[in-house]
Amino acid sequence: MILSKYCASGNDFLIFHTFEHKNRSEYAKKMCNRFYGIGADGLVVLLPYAQNSDEKGDEEAISELDSKQIAYQWEFYNSDGSIANMCGNASRAVTLYAYHNNIAGLKHNFLSKVGVIENNIQNIKSDKEALVQSNLGKFSFEGSFVESRRENLYDFELIMVGIPHLVCKCESLREFDGLLDDLEFLSQLRHKHNANVSIAFRENDVIHYATFERGVEGITQACGTGACAVFASFREFDKSYTLIPPSKERLIVSSKNSEIYFAGLVSLVATCVV
């Protein structure tokens, strides 16, 4: 079994392609374990695209999917073995993997559980690294919440970008750092709202952010959907922003036709034989 490890702006993933559909939750837990496995934030499986039973009853849906020229579909597993509908940075990682393995070209689409994801390898830096952009599609604002913690009140907004994110825009770097250190509070919010929790602090056109992710149950080095949710929360869709996650690798996020695009570096870390 050959697994390729890719890193997308600090998020790392194990990726392989196969023709076999099956549940790989336990395998994902084993391989993603950083002590007894290879170690990663998630496992991604590329599969040949095939219409499912729901699509076969909807000719309009079939026609729309066919027009997208889907190169493949995927299964995505978090490091705890849970299945996620979407992962932004993984969408960029599999794009480079598919190109490296002659599965798809520089610009292609694949099918996720939230729909078709459009991808574009914009700049090849080396045989192992490239700048990759993904279009995560439309987003929606689902509600606002005020949460209290140690006599402090925090405003959160629930934003859907394929998967749900609670977003808090901090007024100061001190407030941002305080929330970043309060993992117990972030974990409580993650379970209370069954959502990822993203916090952000803006300095001019640069936004520092971090995400407490479901399935990882901690703050990751980067989160693509988190970056897009944070971008949406500022509601300045005519501008592009540089977002900096804990990994310090820059993500460029922008909007066009009410859809969110984000780009960043992706690199092949290793090819693993297990």
Domain ranges of the chain: 2-136+265-273, 140-260
Tens of pLDDT, residue by residue over 198-210, are: 999 999 889 999 9
Rounded alpha-carbon distances, angstroms, from residue 103 to 14, 92, 94, 96, 108: 17, 14, 10, 10, 10
Please give the Cα distance from 229 to 197 (Å, whole number).
10
Residues 31-89 have pLDDT tens digits of 999 999 999 999 999 999 876 645 445 555 445 555 568 999 999 999 999 998 888 89
Closest CA to 216 of 86, 79, 14, 46: 79
pTM: 0.85
Q: Is 87 a catalytic residue?
A: yes
The whole-number pLDDT of residue 149 equals 87
Q: What is the CATH number of domain 140-260?
A: 3.10.310.10
Q: Which residue has the tokens 């598919």?
A: 98
The pLDDT, as a whole number, for residue 3 is 98
pLDDT of the residue at 216: 84
pLDDT digits (tens, 9 = 90+) for 210-244: 999 987 889 989 988 999 999 999 998 888 999 99
**Domain pair 2-136+265-273 / 140-260, same fold:** yes
What is the structure's pLDDT at 208? Answer: 96
pLDDT digits (tens, 9 = 90+) for 178-193: 999 999 999 999 999 9
Q: In whole angstroms, what is the distance from residue 85 CA to residue 77 CA? A: 9
Confidence of residue 245 (pLDDT cuts 50, 70, 90): very high
The backbone torsions φ and ψ at residue 29, rounded to the nearest 5 degrees and listed phi first, read -60, -45
Quickly list DSSP for 178-226: HHHH-HHHHHHHHHHHTSEEEEEEEETTEEEEEEEETTTTEE-S--HHH
Looking at residue 50, its pLDDT comes to 78
Q: What is the pLDDT of residues 123-178, one digit of tens each?
A: 999 999 999 999 988 899 999 999 888 888 999 999 999 889 999 999 999 999 99
User: For the chain, first and last CA: distance in Å?
Assistant: 5
Q: What pLDDT sits at residue 189?
A: 94
Mean per-residue pLDDT, 249-253: 93
- State the average pLDDT over residues 256-262: 91
Q: Which residues pair with 22 in a beta bridge?
A: none
Greater confidence (114 vs 19) lies with 19
Q: Which of 7, 32, 87, 223 is catalytic?
A: 87
Class of domain 2-136+265-273: alpha beta
Q: Do 10 and 246 meet the contact criterion of CB atoms below 8 Å apart?
A: yes
